[in-house]
Amino acid sequence: MPQALNSAKFKIRARPHTHCGDCAIRRLALFHGVPADQLEWTQGFRSAQLDILSKHNLMDEGETPESLYTLYRGWALVYKTLPNGKRQILRIALPGDLLGYQMDMVGPSDVTIRTLTPAIACAFPRAKFWEYLDSHPELMRSLNRMNAYYMSVCQHYLMGIGRKSALERVGFLLMDLWSRGRDLGEIIGFSEQDGLEFPLSQEDMGDAIGISSVHVNRTLREMREDGLIELDSRHLKVLDETTLSEIAHFDTALATSRYSIFS
Amino acid sequence: MPQALNSAKFKIRARPHTHCGDCAIRRLALFHGVPADQLEWTQGFRSAQLDILSKHNLMDEGETPESLYTLYRGWALVYKTLPNGKRQILRIALPGDLLGYQMDMVGPSDVTIRTLTPAIACAFPRAKFWEYLDSHPELMRSLNRMNAYYMSVCQHYLMGIGRKSALERVGFLLMDLWSRGRDLGEIIGFSEQDGLEFPLSQEDMGDAIGISSVHVNRTLREMREDGLIELDSRHLKVLDETTLSEIAHFDTALATSRYSIFS
DNA sequence: CGCTGAGTTGATGACAATCAACTCGGGTGG
DNA sequence: CCACCCGAGTTGATTGTCATCAACTCAGCG
């Protein structure tokens, strides 16, 4: 099974499985609700655990994947592309995030999913997805809450792109990632001393918040000059969270609500 | 119970219940999946059916409602407001749409929901929501698919606001509503001859797609001059759907996927 | 009959896109 | 080991889309 996915196209390599029972991010992921004594089942449902190289697509818009995934390590971008080549990043995925769930779990993917760093993903076969969830009602409920959370995040970004200035949007993006980074801690390379490993390019940032990379650059400079952040060589530190949150209209409720996805 | 909701604040009046068994929009709504012989239960779950005057709030951002709703008749806007007063419309609700579902079904509402026309809504108590769904697994699944659909729509708008021109965005908005109007037909005041009753103001349209009402006006004029649409006195007719869809990058898959929310 | 809200149009200006040039660091191949 | 290249970041100059402000029309309405 891993071999089937180990195609040149995806640059996916099989690797030894870790055990769901030992999973460090289970508290964050869909399978949080599964009792420890049933994790064998989850592990059986999981079809593969995959290493993915940096800058490779886990899924392509318009192509039909066989699996959906929980991101176990690393960063990934979820985006759509317009015929003219413009790209809109819809979501920035970090460990624990569910990837590839959509309304139509039979047809082609709505989105492209691409790693920003080396990553590890746990694959689950689409074909058995509903079957598995039907036999685990608590997961069905978790999936609902998880999607409601993703929806809420999407709406915050919609609000930002529609009605905020470039400064506010960049601030929001940074605070969102900073706050999620803190939650994940060492799993994602965050520490209070050293800040956060931050693999987004300025172009990525622009595509996430609807501005050009050049303007992202100028906005970041402004923030640096105001002593709000440090950001260089893919390394972020937010120096003044309070001010940045205010500027960005960053709602801390969004951050705290992450904790309560899995009641 | 209806009396409790019949406050001056909400301008909500109790009215005689219609029967869930006769519901003309059940095929579109969450309760589609409920077998006919169990609709008594649905009806029992429903706490009230409400008439709401035009331009009144069904729910306010930051306040804690007691119910969620299925919109039975009329138009409603779902939006957020920034401290500076700017508004972003997140969703335009038509009959069959679920209103008030969010991650936190105990705390305050994330959004404001406001009618654009006289409307009818079926209310269901938040307190019993999960309980009811737990006892109806097929509804849990429908809720998942429905939210995945709403997510997909939200992502299309995110893409549009982030990366499309004013012309493309207005076109997308019109095609979205035109196509949903056609699906609903007479329920919402659509006919192939006369077009669609269209209660959005130009300011509403702007707040939905992230441009100013003045610019919406100019863009609509351009579309009229190009013979793409007619739009006046709150009445829309799309004259050239093909061209408008192309301009707007309107994905007809989005439209057809609505049919398949309830497998 | 004046008020109000929405639509319309013109004038102006701001914010951000685009174009272009240059730097810098890291990789790669000669 | 060095030259070259490439991608990303940076900055300046220019352009353009769209926001904002303002004035006016018009229909509906109390």
Average pLDDT over residues B203-222: 97
Residue of chain B with shortest Cα separation from A248: B82
For A86, other C-beta atoms within 10 Å of its C-beta total 14
Which pLDDT value is given to residue A225?
95
Which pLDDT value is given to residue B28?
65
User: Does residue B81 belong to the interface with chain A, where contact is any CB pair within 8 Å?
Assistant: no
A221 CB neighbours strand D below 7 A: yes
B234 CB neighbours strand D below 7 A: no
Interface mutation vs chain B, best among A163, A209, A251, A261, most B CBs within 10 Å: A163
Q: How confident is the model at residue A130 (pLDDT cuts 50, 70, 90)?
A: confident
Shortest distance between the Cα of B82 and any Cα of chain A, in A, equals 8
B47 versus A155: which is more confidently predicted? A155
Instruction: Please provide the average confidence, as pLDDT, over all residues in chain B.
Output: 88
Average pLDDT over residues B148-172: 97
Rounded to the nearest 10 degrees, the angle between the axes of helix A166-184 and helix A252-259 is 30
Average pLDDT over residues B139-165: 94
B54 CB neighbours strand C below 7 A: no
Q: How confident is the model at residue B157 (pLDDT cuts 50, 70, 90)?
A: very high
> Rounded to the nearest 5°, which phi and psi values hold at A54?
-65, 145
Q: How confident is the model at residue B242 (pLDDT cuts 50, 70, 90)?
A: very high
Shortest distance between the Cα of A178 and any Cα of chain B, in A, equals 22
Task: Let me know: does B107 contact B64? Beta carbons within 8 Å.
Answer: yes
A137 versus A45: which is more confidently predicted? A137
Strands B98-99 and B67-73: antiparallel
Rounded to the nearest 10 degrees, the angle between the axes of helix B166-184 and helix B137-163 is 150
Three-state DSSP string of chain B: CHHHHCCCCCCEEECCCCCHHHCCCHHHCHHHHCCHHHHHHHHHHCCEEEEECCCCEEECCCCCCCEEEEEEECCEEEEEECCCCCEEEEEEECCCCEECCCCCCCCCCCCEEEECCCEEEEEEEHHHHHHHHHCCHHHHHHHHHHHHHHHHHHHHHHHHHHHCCHHHHHHHHHHHHHHHHHHHHHHCCEECCCEEECCCCHHHHHHHHCCCHHHHHHHHHHHHHCCCEEECCCEEEECCHHHHHHHHCCCHHHHHHHHCCCC
Please say if the pLDDT value at position B1 is more than 60.
Answer: no
Task: Let me know: does B78 contact B111? Beta carbons within 8 Å.
Answer: yes
CA distance linking residue A124 with residue A180, whole number of Å: 25
CA distance linking residue A181 with residue A42, whole number of Å: 27
A213 CB neighbours strand D below 7 A: yes
Rounded to the nearest 10 degrees, the angle between the axes of helix A166-184 and helix A137-163 is 150
User: Does residue A101 belong to the interface with chain B, where contact is any CB pair within 8 Å?
Assistant: yes
B40 CB neighbours strand C below 7 A: no
Please say if the pLDDT value at position B26 is more than 80.
Answer: no
With an 8 Å Cβ cutoff, are A162 and B209 in contact? yes
Q: How confident is the model at residue A173 (pLDDT cuts 50, 70, 90)?
A: very high
**B137 contacts on A by Cβ (under 8 Å):** 134, 137, 140
Residue of chain A with shortest Cα separation from B138: A134
A232 CB neighbours strand D below 7 A: yes
Please say if the pLDDT value at position A204 is more than 80.
Answer: yes
With an 8 Å Cβ cutoff, are A140 and B137 in contact? yes
List pLDDT tens digits, range A227-251. 999 998 899 999 999 999 999 999 8
Nucleotides of D under 7 A from a protein CB: 8-13, 17-22
Which pLDDT value is given to residue B39?
73
Task: Let me know: does A166 contact A174? Beta carbons within 8 Å.
Answer: no
Q: In percent, how much of chain B has pLDDT > 90?
A: 64
Give me the residue label for tokens 């009792």: A35
Q: Which two tokens stand for residue A234?
A: 């893919």
Which pLDDT value is given to residue A174?
98
Interface mutation vs chain B, best among A88, A111, A126, most B CBs within 10 Å: A88
With an 8 Å Cβ cutoff, are A149 and B103 in contact? yes
User: Does residue A82 belong to the interface with chain B, where contact is any CB pair within 8 Å?
Assistant: yes
Give me the residue label for tokens 């923030």: A223
**Angstrom distance, A214 CA to C21 C1':** 14
Average pLDDT over residues A28-42: 70
CB within 7 A of strand C (chain B, 228-247): 232, 234
List pLDDT tens digits, range A68-119. 999 999 999 999 999 999 999 999 999 999 999 999 999 999 999 999 999 9
Average pLDDT over residues A126-152: 89
Contacts of B152 (CB under 8 A, 6+ apart): A102, A103, A110, B254, B257
Cβ within 8 Å of B, A 20-59: none
With an 8 Å Cβ cutoff, are A82 and B249 in contact? yes
Please say if the pLDDT value at position B14 is more than 90.
Answer: no
Nucleotides of C under 7 A from a protein CB: 6-11, 15-20
Q: How confident is the model at residue B61 (pLDDT cuts 50, 70, 90)?
A: very high
